[in-house]
Homo-oligomer: A and B are copies of this chain.
Amino acid sequence: MKLIFSPASPFVRKVRIAAIELGLIDKIEFVPITLAPGQTNDAYVRDINPLKKLPALILDDGEVIIDSYVIVEYLDDLAGGGKLIPASGPARWKVKSDHSLLQGMLDSMLLCRYEKMVRPQGLRWQAWFDDHWHRVWQGMARFDKQGDALSRPIDIVQIGLVCVLGYADFRFADCGWRKAYPNLGAFNEKMLTRHSVKVSLPPAA
């Protein structure tokens, strides 16, 4: 199978960490592509993903799976199931819901980045930036208090969280999340001892 990717995408990083942790990384061929808001990429939009988002997984039979979370679920299933996402019970819904929060935090971080660094300067709206950054910040506060989520064996919540924190360092280096959320700082350090997390760090900003 092939993964269409860009090295700076936190959504791609999530899939990459999951694939390494599941022992499936050698089964995936990585195919780079560049996509940006306001720029067209007709072939990708027409044939792969109308949303112009990364990553996309192309299976050997040509079927395309989009959305980083669905790709992780697919890989987890391929690895036997229940590895990074609990297979049943209350833990399953807690993990899925927590992951949705992380996904929304990443979406908001990307909106903040577009607002502050991509949108033409005279067209920026501070209230929009503040609104989305507040979501990120409140989300971090939520996880900072979740001792269990920070200490249990690795799962998709921990992977998503380390991608949020890595993206904060990559694009919002001065935001001060380590000082505000010391438990997340300790969690991030511990996660960085893992090969999967270390090798997937974003390139220098």
User: CA of A101 to CA of B38 in the docked complex: distance in angstroms?
Assistant: 19
Judge if A94 is at the interface, Cβ distance under 8 Å: yes
User: CA of A139 to CA of B101 in the docked complex: distance in angstroms?
Assistant: 25
User: CA of A119 to CA of B111 in the docked complex: distance in angstroms?
Assistant: 14
Main secondary structure of the interface of A (DSSP, over half): helix
Contacts of A101 in B (CB 8 A): 49-51, 66
Quick one: given A38-B131, A51-B105, are A96 and B123 in contact (CB under 8 Å)? Answer: no
Contact across chains for A64 and B97 when beta carbons are under 8 A apart: yes
Question: Which of A67-75, A149-157, A182-190 is near enough to bind chain B?
Answer: A67-75
Contacts of A146 in B (CB 8 A): none
Which of A51, A94, A128 has its CB near the most chain B CB atoms (within 10 A)?
A51
Please list the residues of chain A having a beta carbon within 8 angstroms of any beta carbon in chain B.
37-38, 40, 45-46, 49-53, 63-67, 69-70, 73-74, 90, 93-94, 96-97, 100-101, 103-105, 107-108, 114, 119-120, 122-125, 127-128, 131, 134-135, 138-139, 141-142
Contact across chains for A141 and B108 when beta carbons are under 8 A apart: no
Q: Identify which of B49, B94, B123 contacts A123 (C-beta below 8 A).
A: B123
Contact across chains for B135 and A52 when beta carbons are under 8 A apart: yes
Nearest B residue (CB) for A107: B107
A-B contact pairs, 25 of them (CB 8 A): A37-B131, A38-B128, A40-B134, A45-B138, A49-B101, A50-B105, A50-B135, A50-B142, A51-B104, A51-B135, A52-B135, A63-B93, A66-B97, A66-B104, A67-B97, A67-B100, A69-B100, A70-B93, A70-B97, A74-B93, A119-B125, A120-B125, A122-B123, A123-B123, A123-B125
